[in-house]
Amino acid sequence: MQVLAFFFADRPFFPICKAPTDQLEQSTGLHSTGRPVELRSTATCRPNPRAQVELISVRFPARIPSRSVRAPSRQPFFPIDPPSSSTVDLLTKDYNFDQKFSLSVVGATGLGLTATGLKRDQIFIGDLNTIYKSGNTIVDVKVDTYSNVTTKVTVSDVLPSTKAALSFKIPDNKSGKLDVLYLHPQAAFDSSIGLNPNPLLELSATIGSKELSLGGEVGFDTASASFIKYNAGISLNKPDFSAALLLTDKGQALKASYIHYVDTKNGTTVAAELIHRFSSYQNTFTIGSSHAVDPFTVIKTRFSDDGKAAMLCQHEWRPKSLFTFSAQYDSKAVNAAPKLGLALALKP
């Protein structure tokens, strides 16, 4: 059974069922970066979710990816991520027009440490992220340049097929939030409540099968006694393509996304996203492609209606260590130099 998940506009929805990342890579024959890998087994799927957050992005519109060139960072459906999670990944993921460096170290005891630095113009920002995994519990602590400390504690199997997450930020004493996720082979439900006197309430749900899924989400602000969002979407998944249609921005925008797996052996994939805004009758679109030159190198391209063209080349020079070069040219800014970016990710 393939992985099912909805991705909502403002935060991703939770997968109905999913398998470990390595099993996903084996079942599709692709590395998470879009590179071919040797097939060794077939992925299985169980209602019991794992605590790996890489496959679910939190906050977006909907869709259930059946196959993905990259680990779903996701497309929006409203409990998890952007328009076809994999579509959004292909069009946006890893594009960076600054200088970025990250170092990740994972210990045998379940403790992981990641240091990230970003130089943008003359400004340098960074953060230190620590993740500790023990049994069904994951503790994630992040400290940024401005001395903000963000903490998230996730506990799986609080009840059968249920996961709970408590998050808060210091020194913001109103940032506390509790999320509860319930997963069923044919449905997923996510609820969220702010831990403050005037909490924000959010509820999202997804039902469907591996081929067709429906979902929606709603957000209510108790301080103003008003709905701050309500979105809905439908997703269709086939062996060689996935498509999603999302009604977002409280019914003010219609978003359509499509991704086609042209050749899974070399990771050749094309994707497109179209957004129509009813109030202004404005249409925007973005198209992109991804191709694995060899088992260690991926090239991506992207074009948008605003006259911007971008390309990316990512090379895995050692296991799990990536060097990425990105470039973007704006045809409407003829006097401006193209934007260039370098990113180095080390994982010993």
Domains identified in the chain, total number:
1
Distances (CA, A) of 62 to 6, 77, 149, 204, 256: 5, 2, 30, 10, 10
Name the strand (E) or helix (H) holding 291. strand 282-294
CATH of the domain at 286: 2.40.160.10
Strand partners of residue 143: 128, 149
Instruction: Give the helix/strand (H/E) hosting 181.
Output: strand 177-184
Count of positions (residues) in the chain:
348
Q: By the 8 A CB rule, do 89 and 319 touch? A: no
Q: Is 226 exposed, middle or buried (0-12, 13-18, 19+ CB in 10 A)?
A: exposed
Q: Is 280 exposed, middle or buried (0-12, 13-18, 19+ CB in 10 A)?
A: exposed
Distance (Å, whole) CA 245 – CA 235: 6
Q: Which helix (H) or strand (E) holds 89?
A: helix 85-92
Residue 7 sits at φ, ψ, to 5 deg, of -125, 120
Q: Which two tokens stand for residue 10?
A: 């403002």
The domain in which residue 177 lies consists of 4-346
Along the 348 residues of the chain, how does pLDDT read in single tens digits? 333 334 333 443 333 333 333 333 333 333 434 443 333 333 333 333 333 333 233 333 333 333 333 333 333 333 433 334 778 889 999 999 999 999 999 888 889 999 999 998 889 999 999 999 998 999 999 999 989 999 999 999 989 999 999 999 999 988 999 999 999 888 999 999 999 999 999 999 999 988 899 999 999 999 999 999 999 999 999 989 999 999 999 999 999 999 999 988 888 999 999 999 999 999 999 999 999 999 999 999 999 999 999 999 999 999 889 999 999 999 988 888 999 999 999 987
Beta-bridge partner residues of 330: 308
Rounded to two decimals, the pTM is: 0.70
Structure-token pair, residue 49: 């979710």
Contact 168, 175 (CB under 8 A): yes
What is the tens place of the pLDDT at every residue in 149-197?
A: 999 999 999 899 999 999 999 999 889 999 999 998 889 999 999 999 9
Distance CA 27, CA 40 (A): 8
| Chain-centroid distance, C-alpha 218 | 20
Query: Are 44 and 1 in contact, with CB atoms under 8 Å apart?
Result: yes
211-247 pLDDT tens trace: 899 999 999 999 999 999 999 999 999 989 999 999 9
Do β-strands 123-134 and 111-120 pair in parallel, antiparallel, or remain unpaired? antiparallel
Q: Name every residue whose Cβ is closer than 8 Å to that of residue 263 and which is 6 or more positions away in sequence.
A: none
Contact (CB, 8 A) for 55 and 8: no
